[in-house]
Structure 1
Amino acid sequence: MAQKKENIVMFPFMAQGHINPFLALALRIEKTKKFTITFVNTPLNIKKLRSFLPSNSSIYLLEIPFNSSDHDLPPNSENMDSLPYHFLINIFQASLSFKPHFRKLISNLIQEKNGQKPVCIISDMFLGWCEEIAQEFGIFHAIFLGGGGFGFACYYSLWVNLPHRSTDSEEFVLPDFREASFHVTQMTDFLRSADGSDSYSSFLRKTLSQWSKADGILFNTVEEIDKLGLTYFRRKFGRQVWPVGPVL
Structure 2
Amino acid sequence: MAEPKENIVMFPFMAQGHIIPFLALALHIEKTKSFTITFVNTPLNIKKLKSSIPPDSSIKLLEIPFNSSDHGLPPNSENTDILPYPLIISLLHASTSLKPAFKTLIEDIIEEQEGKPPLCIIADIFFGWTATVAKDLGVFHAIFSGAGGFGLACYYSVWSALPHRGVDSDEFELKDFKEASRFHVSQLPLSILAADGSDSWVNTDEVLAVPKGSA
TM-score, normalization by structure 1? 0.82
By how many angstroms is 1:99 displaced?
Answer: 0.4
By how many angstroms is 1:202 displaced?
Answer: 4.1
Aligned to 2:109: 109
By how many angstroms is 1:206 displaced?
Answer: 6.0
Q: Which runs of 5+ in 2 are unaligned?
A: none
User: Superposition pairs for residues 118-197 of structure 1, below 5 Å?
Assistant: 118-180=118-180, 181-197=182-198
By how many angstroms is 1:85 displaced?
Answer: 1.9
Q: Deviations over 1:38-77 (max 9, x none)?
A: 0000011111111111111111111000000001110011
Separation in structure 1 between the aligned mates of residue 132 and residue 199 of structure 2, nearest angstrom: 25
Distance 1:189 1:22, change over 3 A: closer
By how many angstroms is 1:166 displaced?
Answer: 2.4
Question: Does the 8 Å CA contact 1:173/1:182 hold for their aligned counterparts?
Answer: yes
Tell me whether 1:207 sits opposite 2:202 in the alignment. no
- State percent identity of aligned pairs: 62
Separation in structure 1 between the aligned mates of residue 162 and residue 130 of structure 2, nearest angstrom: 25
Question: Does the 8 Å CA contact 2:96/2:207 hold for their aligned counterparts?
Answer: no
Q: Deviations over 1:84-119 (max 9, x none)?
A: 222111100010000000000000100011111100
Q: Which runs of 5+ in 1 are unaligned?
A: 216-248
2:192 maps to a residue whose letter is: L
Separation in structure 2 between the aligned mates of residue 19 and residue 139 of structure 1, nearest angstrom: 22
By how many angstroms is 1:200 displaced?
Answer: 4.6
User: Superposition pairs for residues 52-63 of structure 1, below 5 Å?
Assistant: 52-63=52-63
Aligned to 2:82: 82
2:186 maps to a residue whose letter is: T
- DSSP 3-state at the match of 1:141: strand
Distance 1:119 1:151, change over 3 A: same
RMSD: 1.6
Separation in structure 2 between the aligned mates of residue 83 and residue 208 of structure 1, nearest angstrom: 20
Question: Does the 8 Å CA contact 1:45/1:79 hold for their aligned counterparts?
Answer: yes
List 4+ stretches of structure 1 deviating above 3 A: 198-203, 205-208
Aligned residues: 214
Question: Does the 8 Å CA contact 1:158/1:174 hold for their aligned counterparts?
Answer: yes
1:182 maps to a residue whose letter is: F
- DSSP 3-state at the match of 2:8: strand
Question: Does the 8 Å CA contact 2:123/2:143 hold for their aligned counterparts?
Answer: yes
